[in-house]
Structure 1
Amino acid sequence: MTAARWTPKLFSVLKDGYGAAELRADALAGLTVAIVALPLAMALGIASGASPDKGLVTAIVAGFFISLLGGSRVQIGGPTGAFVVIVFNVIAQHGYDGMVLATAMAGVILMIAGYARAGQLVKFVPAPVVTGFTAGIALIIATSQIKDFFGLSMATVPADFLPKWQAYFHAAGTVNWSAAAIGAGALALILVLRRTAPKAPGFLIAIVAAAVVVALLKLPVDTIGSRFPNMQAGLPMPHIPAFSLAKVQEVLPSAFTIAFLAGIESLLSAVVADGMTGFRHRSNQELVGQGVGNFASALFGGMPATGAIARTATNVRSGGRSPVAGMLHAVFLLLFVLFAGDLMAFVPMAALAAILFIVAWGMSEIDRVRMLLRMPKADRVVLVLTFLLTVLVDLTVAIGVGVTLASLMFMARMSETVAINAGATMVPEEGDTAGNGQRDTLPPGVEVFQITGPFFFGVAGELLDTLRRLGQPPRVIILRLRLVPFLDASGAAAVESFVEQAHKLGSKVILSGLQAGPRSVLAHAGLGRAGGRVVFAHDYAEALVKARALTRASGGQA
């Protein structure tokens, strides 16, 4: 079972049997996905501050290795919109070489995370955080395409959101109406095809139509060829990214951010694919495959990659049955680059901007945003704050603040579920035959309290407050802990402080009904049986017997 956890899905598929029928289905699906991925990879490469060929290299290399070594049957890997902001900022701060190094480091981090079984941890990132930064990225991507869509004449475009819009307004008088018409036409064509022919490769049809119109009418608009005259054809030779200790330290935060986003998006995509196919992915092996894919992409000078939900869904709908479809999608992309590279120079930038508008709208998840805005106030605050920080400050800050705030709010809500009860307010416990702790069943000089819920640092202080409120200290205090499923270090420290304070007041403490987990934590804190500082009872009935014995020993009457 352990070995299977880190076995690529491809190996399992081939072991189960793979024939000509499966190969034909995967080849058709791979070709379909490659047609969809071709314009998207170029557009994402440009939007990331690189060039279209970098996006294609990423889709080919990372896409191949993610399918080869990943943990999902149908996952398609490649550049995605989630990385646009990160890559753009890393290139701006550290140059393209710095971005390549960060991608390679992210690959190593992902591989380590996979072998450390971190695949299950990603599900604990709160939905408002994921939706907030995804929607923020979508807005940033759409904003970054205004210049190309309208053909604005601008020497430079500011990187920050608000200054960027100020620059757009100042350049509003330089609109290239030919470019705007091409962009609007491409956008309209994609939307019409989605409604009337949803299976047609709308992106590819749109850029081909736009390129033909521009070439025939000789329209004065920017194209890939005019913007990137020295674009490399084919794949470059692999090489180890240049690095030094100082450079590694500089890009390490970006590498962790890339790894985090790659892990989140790839596993979310794999879950979606599971729902469409009925299969189950191997989350830890998926992280390993993503790590290898990103490291390989960096070796060829590519960008970060992850599982792409839209392309994965296209693969499933096109009949993809195994990782072979994803590998063939990369092969078909390579063939397009090798034999149709010259034709890509005719693609108008405005048409690629239209494609990215569609991508941004899909990333915005507007329906999920509306749903979360109907949730409790804490979730709304996390969503809006993460969105605003993503757009106005920095994606890394947004993720850190969003996760931290969501965690604090969750702990605050959890603390409200923990109760310290006494007397008739106590909750019945399974197998309780001792009267549930009503006052008339307690021996003289004995007090009992019951803690229900996870006892962690958010509520630990309430235990000492309860002791302070007792007034005249009893001879014996029973703490009923059967309904405490979890006890952290702060909770253990609170119990220890409670025992110490009770000892100073002359009170003995009996811990009743401890579960195995909390008992182990208390033992490590020095409150185990060997310590002799507290008395343990298997259940409440036994605790009452021991309480009577302690009161007799101290001169009381039962």
Structure 2
Amino acid sequence: MLSLAHFNRKTIKGDIFGALTSTIVALPFALAFGVTSGAGASAGIYCAIITGLFASLFGGTNQQISGPNTGLTVAMVAILTSFVAQSPDNGIAAAFTVVSLAGLFQMLFGFFKLGKYFILVSYPVISGFTSGIGILIILSQIEPLFGHSLPELELSLSTLTSTNTLLGLACLAILFIWPQKYSRVVPASIIAVAGATCFYVFSGAEMPVVGAIASELPAFNMPVWESSLASEMIKSALLIATLSTLDSLMTSLTVDSITNELHDSDQELVGQGIGNIVAGLFGALPGGGATMRTVTNLRAGGTTPLSGILHALFILAIVLWAGEYTAYIPVAVLAAILTHVGISIIDWNFLKRLHQVPLFSVGLMISTMIMSVAFDLVTAVLVGVFIANLVTIRRLSDIQLDNIKLCTAKEAEHLSKPERELLEAMDDSVLLLNISGPIGFGVARGLKQSVSETDQNKTLLIDLTDARFVGITSTIAIEEIIVSYRNQGRDILLSSVCERVREDFNKLKLLDKIPAEHIFSTRLDALTYLKQRV
């Protein structure tokens, strides 16, 4: 978040250079994302201006550069297409209302301290999700690149040799072969845009162009609530908020790894949320942290939020004084830029190592990628996260079951010598259930099963000496064991219940189901009591 401390002589020079360099990188992408979204080039440009400005003013990552990006653009294409088809009169206004609503959700994520949870998504899900977005971007650029949509596309000689296609393929080749060492000075995207524009101006060839951007600030649009689209608007807003959050926080983590600093995830979500609220009100695309532009800013010397603010102001200045010149930029070059982006964000590194990765991770990645393309991004993420979490819970439960020992005197190696002697003296008439470490709801079934499979004619001592957390589900499982023993007239005892576990037990009044004289402070006290009874 910007403060007066960020205005100092030591950093301002680097911030200016970082802002200038990231502006050069951002302009072609902002134009390309705007055109691809169907909302127009200005929607992408003003997204870069608005989200870049407000995320830097109120965000929690000093060097973050925000703006339109791949996943958000793909989602916005689907939202605009769907809303306009369902409501021709209010569809576009409703779509941009979704952007503001998404910003509100992001702010709530930040206020409720949810930032840390968004970066816990498993890698195969993220890999499949981003790869699916890459494929969607490539598919979306077939028509502007070849002049025909995918179902109608025939790669005939006439198609491949059309001026528009040849120009697009040439620009795509430049993006791939431009040396990396030169990209730090002049990005390949700028070379491609400049070359394609010069070709269009001097050749006189007829081809689709971007069109001029009005040299004026965008108009304010009141939010529109379309009742027939209500559920879809909320669902779409949550998708936009989630995508923007993931992009922003992943970029923030990249910044942390480069600078050895720690960003404020929740403050970052508040800043991004404010940016998206304002973006929706002015008909701009939703935005989020942009990794490539942020890293460019860092490498050029940007160190404070001032670099992001200047980045937004530089783009605004270019639009206001040179927006008319976008009328000479061919659409084919923007299609080439986005095709290059789509190819680049596919996780080729993971795909190359599929034969080395566990089968479950391979299946999760591939299925998430296919669902992203075949269905929608929301379904892909929800299903992927759900499956990944189920498997993770199962694995953790298996590990936690190792913390539960159901043993007789012969097996109680973890006891102290006096405790073992007491247990041995009772001639295996006492069964010890030792619970150590945290146990969650996934362990509950295994806990009940392990007890039910033993000889229930013995007295049961549930020992919680090493347990520091017992969830509600596991509390219920323990309660069922207690009730079962009590109903059959057998004794059951508890020992070493710490304060935190006692709070969980008290919520369900579990301790009321055991006589007070059967609850002991230590395991030794419980065993001494049992020995005296025997």
SS at match of 2:509: helix
| Distance across 2 between alignment mates of 1:357 and 1:513 | 63
SS at match of 1:303: coil
Question: In structure 2, what is the equivalent of residue 508 of structure 1?
Answer: 491
Q: Which amino acid aligns with 1:440?
A: E
Contact persistence 1:235–1:300 (CA under 8 A): no
| Distance across 1 between alignment mates of 2:166 and 2:427 | 89
Contact persistence 2:97–2:281 (CA under 8 A): no
Question: In structure 1, what is the equivalent of residue 322 of structure 2?
Answer: 340
| Distance across 1 between alignment mates of 2:313 and 2:381 | 35
In terms of mean alpha carbon deviation, does 381-390 or 492-501 score higher? Answer: 381-390
Selected match of 1:108 from 94, 104, 108: 104
Post-superposition Cα deviations, 1:181-223, rounded to whole Å, max 9, x if no partner, equal: 2112212222333435131222112101111012212223222
In terms of mean alpha carbon deviation, does 244-253 or 488-497 score higher? Answer: 244-253
Selected match of 1:428 from 407, 414, 436: 414
What are the within-5 Å matches in structure 2 for residues 127-166 of structure 1?
127-150=123-146, 152=147, 154=148, 157=149, 165-166=150-151
| Distance across 1 between alignment mates of 2:329 and 2:28 | 9
Question: In structure 1, what is the equivalent of residue 88 of structure 2?
Answer: none
Question: In structure 2, what is the equivalent of residue 3 of structure 1?
Answer: none
Given the superposition, is the C-alpha separation of residues 378 and 526 from structure 1 closer, same or farther in structure 2, using an over 3 Å criterion? farther
Question: In structure 2, what is the equivalent of residue 291 of structure 1?
Answer: 273
Given the superposition, is the C-alpha separation of residues 434 and 180 from structure 1 closer, same or farther in structure 2, using an over 3 Å criterion? farther
| Distance across 2 between alignment mates of 1:283 and 1:372 | 32
Post-superposition Cα deviations, 1:492-511, rounded to whole Å, max 9, x if no partner, equal: 11100000001112222222
Question: In structure 1, what is the equivalent of residue 235 of structure 2?
Answer: 253
The Cα of 1:355 is off from its aligned counterpart by: 0.8
Q: Tell me, yes or no, if structure 1 residue 70 matches structure 2 residue 53.
A: no
Q: Tell me, yes or no, if structure 1 residue 51 matches structure 2 residue 43.
A: no
Structure 1 unmatched ranges of 5 or more = 1-7, 158-164
The Cα of 1:248 is off from its aligned counterpart by: 3.9
| Distance across 1 between alignment mates of 2:109 and 2:159 | 49
Selected match of 1:456 from 419, 426, 440: 440
SS at match of 2:442: coil
Selected match of 2:397 from 408, 415, 422: 415
The Cα of 1:250 is off from its aligned counterpart by: 3.1
SS at match of 1:487: coil
SS at match of 2:285: coil
Post-superposition Cα deviations, 1:259-278, rounded to whole Å, max 9, x if no partner, equal: 11111111110110111112
Contact persistence 2:93–2:223 (CA under 8 A): yes
Post-superposition Cα deviations, 1:124-165, rounded to whole Å, max 9, x if no partner, equal: 222221121111001110111122222x2x4xx4xxxxxxx4
Post-superposition Cα deviations, 1:59-88, rounded to whole Å, max 9, x if no partner, equal: 011111011110011000100001122101
* TM-score for the superposition, normalised by structure 1: 0.87
Q: Tell me, yes or no, if structure 1 residue 26 matches structure 2 residue 15.
A: yes
Post-superposition Cα deviations, 1:405-451, rounded to whole Å, max 9, x if no partner, equal: 0011111112221134224555737xx45456996254553111223
The Cα of 1:244 is off from its aligned counterpart by: 4.6
Contact persistence 1:433–1:541 (CA under 8 A): no
SS at match of 1:241: coil
What are the within-5 Å matches in structure 2 for residues 198-237 of structure 1?
198-199=183-184, 200-225=186-211, 231-237=213-219
SS at match of 2:178: helix
| Distance across 1 between alignment mates of 2:345 and 2:320 | 31
The Cα of 1:175 is off from its aligned counterpart by: 4.4
Q: Which amino acid aligns with 2:495?
A: S
Selected match of 2:95 from 96, 99, 103: 99
Structure 2 unmatched ranges of 5 or more = 84-90
The Cα of 1:453 is off from its aligned counterpart by: 5.0
Q: Which amino acid aligns with 2:205?
A: L
Contact persistence 2:35–2:210 (CA under 8 A): no
Question: In structure 1, what is the equivalent of residue 170 of structure 2?
Answer: 185
Q: Tell me, yes or no, if structure 1 residue 302 matches structure 2 residue 287.
A: no
| Distance across 2 between alignment mates of 1:377 and 1:425 | 37
Question: In structure 2, what is the equivalent of residue 489 of structure 1?
Answer: 472
* Percent pairwise identity: 29
Q: Which amino acid aligns with 1:286?
A: E
Given the superposition, is the C-alpha separation of residues 444 and 137 from structure 1 closer, same or farther in structure 2, using an over 3 Å criterion? closer
SS at match of 1:477: strand
Contact persistence 1:426–1:437 (CA under 8 A): no
Contact persistence 2:482–2:513 (CA under 8 A): no
Contact persistence 2:50–2:278 (CA under 8 A): yes
SS at match of 2:433: strand
Given the superposition, is the C-alpha separation of residues 216 and 385 from structure 1 closer, same or farther in structure 2, using an over 3 Å criterion? same
Question: In structure 2, what is the equivalent of residue 536 of structure 1?
Answer: 519
| Distance across 1 between alignment mates of 2:109 and 2:302 | 28
Q: Which amino acid aligns with 1:187?
A: L
Given the superposition, is the C-alpha separation of residues 173 and 546 from structure 1 closer, same or farther in structure 2, using an over 3 Å criterion? farther
Given the superposition, is the C-alpha separation of residues 303 and 26 from structure 1 closer, same or farther in structure 2, using an over 3 Å criterion? same
Question: In structure 2, what is the equivalent of residue 162 of structure 1?
Answer: none
The Cα of 1:373 is off from its aligned counterpart by: 6.2
| Distance across 2 between alignment mates of 1:248 and 1:266 | 27
Post-superposition Cα deviations, 1:28-53, rounded to whole Å, max 9, x if no partner, equal: 11111111110100111122222111
Post-superposition Cα deviations, 1:445-491, rounded to whole Å, max 9, x if no partner, equal: 311122345433323123332333234512x2112233444322211
| Distance across 1 between alignment mates of 2:455 and 2:26 | 73
The Cα of 1:286 is off from its aligned counterpart by: 0.4
| Distance across 2 between alignment mates of 1:314 and 1:320 | 9
Q: Tell me, yes or no, if structure 1 residue 526 matches structure 2 residue 515.
A: no
Q: Which amino acid aligns with 1:504?
A: N
The Cα of 1:169 is off from its aligned counterpart by: 4.1
| Distance across 2 between alignment mates of 1:186 and 1:534 | 83
The Cα of 1:246 is off from its aligned counterpart by: 4.7
Given the superposition, is the C-alpha separation of residues 548 and 167 from structure 1 closer, same or farther in structure 2, using an over 3 Å criterion? farther
Post-superposition Cα deviations, 1:355-399, rounded to whole Å, max 9, x if no partner, equal: 112211332232245457633333222212111111111111111
Given the superposition, is the C-alpha separation of residues 537 and 171 from structure 1 closer, same or farther in structure 2, using an over 3 Å criterion? farther
Contact persistence 1:128–1:383 (CA under 8 A): yes
The alignment covers a number of residue pairs equal to 522
SS at match of 1:448: strand
The Cα of 1:236 is off from its aligned counterpart by: 1.0
| Distance across 1 between alignment mates of 2:414 and 2:303 | 53
Question: In structure 2, what is the equivalent of residue 470 of structure 1?
Answer: 454
SS at match of 2:508: helix
| Distance across 1 between alignment mates of 2:19 and 2:169 | 30
